[in-house]
Amino acid sequence: MTALAVSVHGLKKAYKQHTVLNGVNFEVKRGSVFALLGSNGAGKTTIIKILTTLIQANEGKAEVCGIDVAHSPEQVREKISLTGQNIAVDEILTGRENLDLVAKLRHLPDRKAITAASLKQFDLEEAGDKPLATYSGGMKRRLDLAMTMLGSPELVFLDEPSVGLDPEARLALWDTIKKMAASGITIFLTTQYLEEAEALADQIAILHEGQIIVQGTLDELKAILPAKQIEYVEKQPSLEEIFLAVTGKKGE
């Protein structure tokens, strides 16, 4: 088994005359939380779509769980799960019925037990038999993640999962993601919330103008900026300051 969950080399993607990705390179270790940062339109979702076999790159090579995404897309899909920006739940069904439907589609055995365990894991037991119309946005997102986790995927892609959530729901989501990562699942996260990457990620990469311009741990990224002058209190650079500095957007 390869030590890498994702390996991307020379990835390029263009839509007609518009180049989105222009030679993207990065790697994601198994069992880690990897955060991909970038402004709107930077190409984060395009990378997710390529890695999850929804679209194909024009050039370059991408492997997920050691499998070439272009040559063996069906094998890749057996290893992964995806939670997109839009919450993918059926508003007419209850939480339990949503989970049961996904379990059935994945041909999982003992669906009743699996569904009950999932509701408990994601703190949705009391709401399990209530229609989705009664759920808050945070509860719907937790159910979405619960559905994503059915079938024990090796790698979970979370494409801006906290968009639209209030601060309390966002913190609850972070706690859920931490628990997912602690179970050994690799998490590939895209986000515009820089504090989200600070709170969750083992490795952070910044995508800008079609390329990865920097990648490393938070401490490694902090080292990019000049040391802060110590007066009374030493203030470490925030991820937001690092992002603005490396993308050249500081002061705009």
| Mean pLDDT in residue range 54-80 | 95
* pLDDT score of 235: 67
Give the mean pLDDT of 21-46: 93
Terminal-to-terminal C-alpha distance of the chain:
46
The predicted pLDDT at position 250 comes to: 54
Tens digits of residue pLDDT in 166-222: 888 888 888 888 988 888 899 999 988 888 999 999 999 999 999 999 999 988 988
**So what's the pLDDT on residue 208?**
92
Buried b (16+ CB within 10 A) or exposed e, 157-174: bbbbbbeebeeebbebbb
Nearest-5° Cα angle at 24, 211 to 222: 55
Does 3.40.630.30 match the CATH number of domain 4-247?
no
Is pLDDT of 54 > 90? yes
Give the dihedral of Cα atoms 87, 89, 95, 96; nearest 10 deg. Answer: -130
Q: What percent of the chain has pLDDT over 90?
A: 56
pLDDT band for 229, please (50, 70, 90 cuts).
low
Mean pLDDT, the chain, integer: 88
Say yes or no to pLDDT of 232 above 60.
Answer: no
pLDDT at 226: 67
Segment 126-143 shows an average pLDDT of 91
111-121 helix and 137-149 helix, angle to the nearest 10 degrees: 130
What are the domain boundaries of the chain? Answer: 4-247
